[in-house]
Amino acid sequence: MNKRLYRAAIALGASVGSAATIVSLAGPSAAVTATPDHLVCTDTQTYSITSHSANHLKQTVATVQLLNNAKTTATLSTNLTITGTVSMSVSGILSVDEGIILASVKETITAQATKTLSVSQTVGASMTVRPGKVGYIEGGIFRVETAGTYEHVDINCNTTKGTETALTPYHYGYITSGG
């Protein structure tokens, strides 16, 4: 009797004298068949981020600016109504599942990442502008940019790899510059 088969039968609850149970484990109904020289893989897709940078603004509001011609500092203050919809964009050579990239961005960079961000909100913004300078306030939806390797292994164990870049929206707000 095959020792591994015997141990497997005992582990499944067969008694020492139950030869019929042992034989049935080795019978055709319990057998797993495989075609020789044909591997079967689990269909998997991964996106490994190699670099990222945040705060890529997709501007949805006109720029507010102030030229300070005074001899003292001035305050540029405004309410911005940020409205619009920004969707995730992916560029590369492969046709990829955006959900795989999104999951990687959420896990690695920010949980607020989403495929599409729609917003209609008013936010207050202000900044100090020095004499002789121009201050700018821009509002919109921020995206995180990632670069990474996308890999897909299909059920026939064929692997497709490529470098993909994605811009993924994650929050709204404003930035100030100049001043």
Note if the pTM is more than 0.75: no
Contact assessment for residue 138 and residue 175, using Cβ atoms and an 8 Å cutoff: yes
What Å distances lie between residue 10 and 17, 22, 26, 139, 146, CA to CA?
10, 9, 13, 69, 53
Position 4 scores a pLDDT of 35
Tens of pLDDT, residue by residue over 36-95, are 566 788 999 889 999 999 879 999 888 999 999 999 999 999 999 999 999 999 987 777
Mean pLDDT of 13-28: 34
pLDDT at residue 40 in the model: 85
- Predicted pLDDT of residue 179: 86
Parallel, antiparallel or unpaired: strands 74-87 and 116-129: antiparallel
Count helices and strands (H / E) in the chain: 3, 7
Among residues 103, 104, 95, the alpha carbon closest in space to that of 148 is found at 104
Q: What DSSP string runs through 48-70?
A: EEEEEEEEEEEE-SPPEEEE--S
Angle at 71 between CA 70 and CA 74, to 5 degrees: 55
